[in-house]
């Protein structure tokens, strides 16, 4: 079992090596490392075969699994999908999907999935002792409008334990998925909330060694989006290409 002190030491050593490389004129790292020792299962989360061995149909097994019906307007509000009110902080998350030149990406399918306010997913493999909310499934989708804007109403997710190391907790986050022109062109990333005290302790977040690239995954609280006596609001833009692109999980994983 890896101790917290050992993990902190590995993270510090990798960060120091990165800073040294950048200072020496080396290339900046803007994507998560595939083999990142503090994140133990990273060794199992990227391909080990050539791309022609990959099965394109396998992507359909990834969560969430939506059907082929049209996208309904109510699917973007995760708080009204059941018979009652879900528990937790009601939150609006919105932003624009842009290309590298700042142009809107119109009619882009955006999907999200997340844990509930107690930090538990509606999934049989999530068995940690937090309550299941019968009024919150934690999945939604929408299409961007002519300005490239998406908008979801949801419940702010809670942190949850995972088995990477002793006393390991993931910061609160929402998974985002977008598609290109084909189903196999799937891009997956995570959006975090500002000021989370677990950032410094999370190997997944820390596997993005460049701190500026890391910050692009953190939403901004926006008081203009916040609704009086109803919901807090956050803004998070997604840039698909260019030097300021939003970090995605390695494309090879979804081939």
User: Token digits for 33?
Assistant: 């490392």
Give me the catalytic one of 39, 121, 150, 192: 121
Give me the catalytic one of 33, 90, 120, 175: 175
User: Token digits for 3?
Assistant: 């101790």
Question: What SS3 class is residue 233?
Answer: strand
Give me the catalytic one of 160, 192, 205, 234: 160
Q: β-pairing, 90-98 with 232-235? A: parallel
Q: β-pairing, 160-161 with 169-170? A: antiparallel
Give me the catalytic one of 120, 173, 214, 216: 173
What one-character-per-residue DSSP string does 86-106 give? PSS-EEEEEEEEE-TTS-B-T
The length of the chain is 255
- Is there a catalytic annotation at residue 175? yes
What one-character-per-residue DSSP string does 193-231 give? -TT-TTGGG-HHHHTS--HHHHHTTB-EE-TTTSBTTTB
Those residues whose C-beta lies under 8 Å from the C-beta of residue 205, and which sit 6 or more positions away, are 171, 192, 199, 214, 217
d(CA 28, CA 15): 12
The four Cα atoms 92, 125, 201, 3 give a dihedral, to 10 degrees, of: 170
- Is there a catalytic annotation at residue 170? yes
- Is there a catalytic annotation at residue 46? no
d(CA 208, CA 198): 15
Give me the catalytic one of 96, 170, 214, 216: 170
Catalytic residues: 121, 160, 170, 173, 175
């Amino acid at each position: 079992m890896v101790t917290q002190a050992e993990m902190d030491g590995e993270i510090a050593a990798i960060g120091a090596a990165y800073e040294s490389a950048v200072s020496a004129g080396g290339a900046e790292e803007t994507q998560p490392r595939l083999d990142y020792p503090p994140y133990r299962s990273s060794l199992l989360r990227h391909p080990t075969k050539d791309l022609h061995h990959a099965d394109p149909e396998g992507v359909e097994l990834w969560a969430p699994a939506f059907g082929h019906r049209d996208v309904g307007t109510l699917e973007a509000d995760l708080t009204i999908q059941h018979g009652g009110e879900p528990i937790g902080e009601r939150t609006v998350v919105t932003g624009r999907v842009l290309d590298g030149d700042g142009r809107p990406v119109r009619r882009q399918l955006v999907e999200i999935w997340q844990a509930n306010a107690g930090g538990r997913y509606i999934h049989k493999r999530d068995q940690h002792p937090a309550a299941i909310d019968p009024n919150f499934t934690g999945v939604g989708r929408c299409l961007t409008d002519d300005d490239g804007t998406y908008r979801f109403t949801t419940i702010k997710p809670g942190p949850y334990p995972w088995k990477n190391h002793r006393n390991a907790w993931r910061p609160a986050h929402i998974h985002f998925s977008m598609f290109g022109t084909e189903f196999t062109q799937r891009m997956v990333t995570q959006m975090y909330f500002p000021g989370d005290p677990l950032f410094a302790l999370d190997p997944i977040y820390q596997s993005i060694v460049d701190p500026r690239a890391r910050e692009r995954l953190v939403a901004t609280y926006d008081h203009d989006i916040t609704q009086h006596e109803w919901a807090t609001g956050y803004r998070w833009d997604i840039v698909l290409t260019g030097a300021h692109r939003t970090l995605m999980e390695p494309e090879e994983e979804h081939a």
